[in-house]
Amino acid sequence: MASLRTLLPLGGDVCPPNMNKVVMDKSSLRMKDSESQIGVLEMKDSECQAIERTSAEVQTLNLETQHLILAECDEKSLGEFLTRITPALLKELDKNLRSNVFQDYDLINDESTELLNAFVEIF
């Protein structure tokens, strides 16, 4: 329970009907206790549980066969590009071959690497 103190004029009227501004001296004011009551808030624990449970699955793979469409390219300019970068590419591959970075790397042997090795041996 909270108690508030409110200033009220002794006559009880806040504003006389024919005046726009009220001027009062302090002696005409009196103190009156006013109270504010806030009811007790009722708290209740209740569990909310969905009775019906559903399961939904999402398929993200596209099951339709996708066809690779090659972009149009100028074979002459592609050949010139490959001729221009091949020496730098071979130089970088040679540096990697001499590097110790992959010294402890274990190659995973599975069917895909065996197929790749067979493909490399053919060419």
57-67 pLDDT, tens digit per residue, is: 776 776 777 78
Residue 57 within any structural domain of the chain: no
Residue 31 within any structural domain of the chain: no
Residue 84 within any structural domain of the chain: yes
Query: What is residue 123's three-state secondary structure?
Result: coil
Residue 116 within any structural domain of the chain: no
Query: Residue 88 sits in which domain range?
Result: 74-98
Strands 29-36 and 2-9: antiparallel
Phi/psi at 58 (5° precision): -120, 130
Residue 80 within any structural domain of the chain: yes
Quote the number of domains for the chain.
1
State the average pLDDT for the chain: 71
30, 26, 37: which is closest to 3 by C-alpha?
37
Residue 87 has pLDDT above 60, yes or no: yes
Q: How far apart are CA 87 and CA 91, in angstroms?
A: 6
Residue 91 within any structural domain of the chain: yes
Residue 78 within any structural domain of the chain: yes
Residue 32 within any structural domain of the chain: no
- Maximum average pLDDT range among 5-19, 31-45, 98-112: 98-112
